[in-house]
Chain A
């Protein structure tokens, strides 16, 4: 994969068309983003683009990913954070798994959720762009948390969620286990889950999975 680092404002100024996956990495710490992005790109064993986007206005992970989704063109679109550590061939293995399983969303082995949740994920753009009337990748009401949980539930409902433990993209955040969940995001998730995520999720066990 190629690796590019841009300011958020630059996203809409260029043509980001890629015949392969685009992984967006919102970042606030440039050094971390460069280190993580360069390693991940070099270990991907696949063509594509890893796009680190500077969240200079601190709009949050969800908003930056949505903005990047709208500004890019590619058959696959994924998300990761500046603290991600990529295993060898992580993207090649992920693409193989998605194609073998007719997947619409793959959860990487993040060293934390063991596949239950795509905290870092790679999705079919055709599928993702049809999830919300706004065309957003993540439900735009979230700020920091639960957007990935909702996306996972939607993929499970579509029977298109894939977890491939050999595709490693670990979140290296020494302090996160003790960090609190963003309360408004949790409340929004519970509210949306109760309504089956706009009636998209019929299976109640799925709707309440992370609530």
Chain B
């Protein structure tokens, strides 16, 4: 379909959908693509998730079309404060259309997708969740908020919502993920870090963010100050065991009851107290200067990094289990393995000397694996002068 130049020029960039990066899936899937509207062919229906005994009807309800639910929407509106975006009402309607009464599995893992062609990449162990109409700046976090209030998660002992790129990023199948949970009972939250190399080469994920999003540390520092958070978090050395990215959480209602209000409170407080100029930047697409994340603002990148801080503060009594990702671990070279171990030992022993050795080795590694321009731009910024441990 042709469109005029003017029409496209006036069009705003498409809102962000997913925050992260790539890697392979071992999932065996059927070929199925959405046919064009003039085609008589129609895609086959996706089979119901098989891991937990859940009926086909429940699955289709969870991934059903939008309709209204005024009561739930009223709750959503009440959450909105200052500039912090509200959760997406259409997604909420979509979820609330018909309560998925047959969803009675104790572990309910949803998989968010946005386009028809992504359905083929979904894991049969999870419940497909169509978020094609989602427009929230908060991305996955908006889905968590919706799900928490929705019938779909009521009665579950554990639930979570992963992205359609779960298999690609983790190298795991959903069944294996669930197996890890079942084999390690008694935790409040199960999580992972698909970007394991970051554990070796960055003090923490805040400093890692500086290399991915322009002026991330400056924005984060202002955000922390406005939200009343301790900004020592931003430059301290974190152990690899707490690294997390992509918001891959499967957790108890108790975790969600603490984590969601915590994040919401932090966002609202920061928005209220931030300098307006910085607040504008916080909510701008400057964060995604290359358009690799669909024009996301700084907000989802900050939110996904709050998990570690939450677990050390308001969530300190919660038990967590980090699921290892063997496929990703295999990709680490010998230097990255040594660097990670070195940093962890420095953290465990609180050795400033070993931490300084790690920084030197790390900088040497980065200077060999990145361009001169990259090193000039980032090495100094990602190397705090003071050694501190969380």
User: 10 closest A-B pairs (Cβ-Cβ)?
Assistant: A73-B291, A19-B294, A17-B13, A92-B117, A19-B14, A102-B24, A89-B33, A4-B8, A14-B9, A92-B33
Residues in A with CB closer than 8 Å to B1 are 2-3, 38, 41-42
User: Are B22 and A96 in contact, CB atoms less than 8 angstroms apart?
Assistant: no
The B144-178 residues at the A interface (CB cut-off 8 A) are 165, 168
Tell me whether A88 is interfacial, beta carbon within 8 Å. yes
B148 to chain A, nearest CB (A): 26
A73 to B12, CA, bound (A): 13
Of B3, B16, B23, B33, which one neighbours A2 at CB under 8 angstroms?
A: B3
Question: Which one of B24, B31, B291 has the highest number of Cβ atoms from chain A below 10 Å of its Cβ?
Answer: B291
Residues in A with CB closer than 8 Å to B39 are 88
Tell me whether B293 is interfacial, beta carbon within 8 Å. yes
The A107-162 residues at the B interface (CB cut-off 8 A) are 124-126, 129, 133
A149 to B153, CA, bound (A): 51
B15 to chain A, nearest CB (A): 7
A135 to chain B, nearest CB (A): 10
Would A99 and B21 be within 8 Å (CB), given that A5-B5, A41-B1, A45-B34 are in contact? no
**Please, what's the 1-or-0 string for A11-44, where 1 marks a CB less than 8 Å from any CB in chain B?**
0011101111000000000000010011001110
User: Are B14 and A88 in contact, CB atoms less than 8 angstroms apart?
Assistant: no
14 A–B pairs (Cβ distance < 8 Å), ordered by A: A3-B3, A4-B3, A10-B5, A14-B9, A19-B15, A19-B17, A20-B14, A20-B115, A41-B2, A88-B36, A89-B35, A92-B117, A125-B291, A166-B31
Tell me whether B116 is interfacial, beta carbon within 8 Å. yes
Residue of B nearest to A166 (CB): B31
Residues in B with CB closer than 8 Å to A37 are 2
A103 to chain B, nearest CB (A): 8
Size of the chain B interface, CB-CB below 8 angstroms: 41
Q: Interface SS of chain B: helix, strand, loop or mixed? A: loop
Question: Which one of A6, A19, A42 has the highest number of Cβ atoms from chain B below 10 Å of its Cβ?
Answer: A19
A153 to B344, CA, bound (A): 38
Tell me whether A66 is interfacial, beta carbon within 8 Å. no
A151 to B25, CA, bound (A): 24
Tell me whether B362 is interfacial, beta carbon within 8 Å. no
Interface, chain A (partner B; CB < 8 A): 2-6, 10, 13-15, 17-20, 34, 37-38, 41-43, 45-47, 49, 72-75, 88-89, 92-93, 95-96, 99-102, 124-126, 129, 133, 166
Residues in B with CB closer than 8 Å to A6 are 5
User: Are B33 and A45 in contact, CB atoms less than 8 angstroms apart?
Assistant: yes
Of B3, B14, B36, which one neighbours A17 at CB under 8 angstroms?
A: B14
Q: A19-B295, A73-B292, A88-B35 are in contact. List 12 more A-B contacts (CB 8 A).
A: A4-B3, A17-B14, A34-B2, A41-B1, A47-B14, A49-B8, A73-B288, A89-B33, A93-B117, A99-B168, A100-B29, A102-B23
User: Are A99 and B22 in contact, CB atoms less than 8 angstroms apart?
Assistant: yes
Residues in B with CB closer than 8 Å to A45 are 33-36, 116-117
User: Are A102 and B115 in contact, CB atoms less than 8 angstroms apart?
Assistant: no
Residue of B nearest to A92 (CB): B117
User: Are A124 and B22 in contact, CB atoms less than 8 angstroms apart?
Assistant: yes
Residue of A nearest to B25 (CB): A100
Residue of B nearest to A52 (CB): B2
Of B13, B168, B373, which one neighbours A100 at CB under 8 angstroms?
A: B168
Residues in B with CB closer than 8 Å to A49 are 8
Residue of A nearest to B39 (CB): A88
